[in-house]
Amino acid sequence: MNFTITSLRTTFFIFTLFILFIFTFCSISRHLYIELKDIEEITLEPLDIEINRKYCGANKCKFLFPYVVEEQETQCNRHFISLMQIAQRIDRIIVLPNVGGSSISSLKSFPFDFYYNLDELSKRFPKVKFILQKEFQKWANELYNKPDTIHVSLRNSRSNPKYISQYDIPFIDKLLKKYRIGRFDLKLNNSTIFKRINVGKNGRGSRQNRENNDLKEFLSAELESNAEVMLITQNEIRGPLFERLTPMPYARHIINTTSNLIKKLNPYIAIHWRMERGQIDLMSKCAEGLVTYLRNLTLTTGITNIYLATDYPLAENNNNKSQSRTFHYIYEEHHIAMKILNSSFNLNTWVSTHMLDYLKSYPAKEEQLQIELEGTGIQGIFDKLILIQADYFIGGPKGCCRFDSTYTNHVMETREELFKNNGSIKNIIDRWEL
């Protein structure tokens, strides 16, 4: 009996010691973890400061990230200028997204300087700081404490002139799935504020030209935020928000290539036939009208070199894909019209002149370059620069083409300036007749 009691006491004593040991061990481990965590935070926070200094020259970085700029290149070029003006106003470094497919978007394959000249851009906007998307992504990936975010959508109205700011419904899933923002290692969670800002009737037309200080003051106040990254979009805005400035300058490799071709072509006639929105049943008649017009013009001027810029698919093996994102259907009538034109004149195009062949040596994957040149892409910029410098610029009549576009207007406006100061420009635009 005594033996049994002694055994029970011994067992209870050992069990008690075991419980105390476990409790003590857990307590020590917990304090040790907290202390190690504190040490880690003390160690890593200064490291984040060093990373910030490395990428933005300050203890804390504040970026404006326009992860997608709506519309095609000529329009989004001007939109981006408005965004740079905003970045300067709220003292944020603007992230230069990738480009490709005639657009500015973080989803594209090429760096911003594939389309645009960063040195000239810096001269034009000396108070704005830039960072390429690739460097911005490196900054976020290297940080221990991931950057917090705010999302802003700029909108305008057809009828309401008031400036309105309100909280928006969060759409984190859309940002992650559609725009793949997760690649940038940002803090996107319930703490992310989503705002929708209505800028009244501003930005509805591409020809707006006023400084609009009231809007600048309003946006400065509404875009005040301590978040390190401000994601921003400008849905439905079709023109400049503030005073209208000249478009962003194009990359030096683009300028040099077009200059070389212009020297070879001079003097030359340039045609812009944007078949989109032309009446299908008129295509053959339109082509015949253009042939008649060109025959008369070449006889009158003695100019025989003709350059054609068009949204019709020129490149081989492009699956009948047009040169415009908004021109979706190519019919037999389009093919017949182009055959009429090609059978009448020896036309120069970006394809026939091989002026973009040098891009094969550009440091990019062959597949990416192929995609860029198959549809709408960098060739639209080349065409635009060649149209601008032509001795004669010819556009299509109503019924044959998309009569009015930002692209055409930009060519006309630039030619108008050249016409005043350059004797080689013989017209601003003329249109052939049906």
Same domain for 297 and 214: no
User: How high is the pLDDT of residue 317?
Assistant: 64
Among the candidates 174, 199, 233, a domain finishes at 233
pLDDT tens-digit series, residues 110-129: 999 999 999 999 999 999 99
User: How high is the pLDDT of residue 14?
Assistant: 56
Among the candidates 164, 198, 233, a domain finishes at 233
CB atoms under 10 Å from CB of 113, counted, come to 16
Same domain for 96 and 206: yes
Among the candidates 203, 233, 263, a domain finishes at 233
Instruction: Please report, for the domain that includes residue 324, its CATH number.
Output: 3.40.50
Residue 55 placed within a domain? no
Residue 326 placed within a domain? yes
Q: Is 85 helix (H, G, I), strand (E, B) or coil?
A: helix
User: How high is the pLDDT of residue 329?
Assistant: 85
**Total length of the chain:** 434
Give a three-class secondary structure readout of 137-166.
HHHHHHCCCCCEEEEEEEECCCCCCCEEEE
pLDDT tens-digit series, residues 52-102: 999 999 999 999 999 999 888 988 998 999 999 999 999 999 999 999 999
Same domain for 314 and 207: no
Percent of the chain residues topping a pLDDT of 90: 65
Residue 54 placed within a domain? no
Residue 348 placed within a domain? yes
- CA gap 399, 172 in Å, rounded: 44
User: How high is the pLDDT of residue 336?
Assistant: 96
Which backbone phi and psi does 155 adopt, to 5 degrees? -130, 165
Same domain for 221 and 126: yes
Looking at the structure of the chain, the number of domains it has is: 2
Residue 37 placed within a domain? no
User: How high is the pLDDT of residue 200?
Assistant: 81
User: How high is the pLDDT of residue 209?
Assistant: 52
Same domain for 357 and 405: yes
- CA gap 297, 57 in Å, rounded: 59
Beta-carbon contacts of residue 297 (< 8 Å; ≥ 6 apart): 269, 303, 392, 394
Is a pLDDT exceeding 90 seen at residue 16? no
Q: Is 279 helix (H, G, I), strand (E, B) or coil?
A: coil
Which residues form the domain of 406?
Answer: 252-431
Same domain for 193 and 258: no
pTM of the shown model: 0.86
pLDDT tens-digit series, residues 161-209: 788 899 999 999 999 999 999 999 999 999 999 999 998 876 655 555 5
Instruction: Calculate the alpha carbon distances from 156 to 151, 205, 236 in Å.
Output: 17, 11, 7
Residue 423 placed within a domain? yes
pLDDT confidence band for 400 (50 / 70 / 90): very high
Same domain for 361 and 301: yes
pLDDT confidence band for 219 (50 / 70 / 90): very high
| Token pair listed for 387 | 């149209």
Same domain for 416 and 361: yes
Same domain for 219 and 94: yes
Same domain for 260 and 139: no
pLDDT tens-digit series, residues 273-307: 999 889 999 999 999 999 999 999 999 999 999 99
CB atoms under 10 Å from CB of 402, counted, come to 21
Side chain identity at 261, as an amino acid letter? L
pLDDT tens-digit series, residues 326-371: 787 889 999 999 999 999 999 999 999 999 999 988 888 888 998 8
Residue 6 placed within a domain? no
Burial 321-330 (b: 16+ CB within 10 A, else e): ebbbeebeeb
Q: Is 321 helix (H, G, I), strand (E, B) or coil?
A: coil
Residue 45 placed within a domain? no
User: How high is the pLDDT of residue 294?
Assistant: 97
Same domain for 259 and 227: no
Same domain for 417 and 318: yes
- CA gap 192, 181 in Å, rounded: 13
User: How high is the pLDDT of residue 239?
Assistant: 72
pLDDT averaged over every residue in the chain: 87
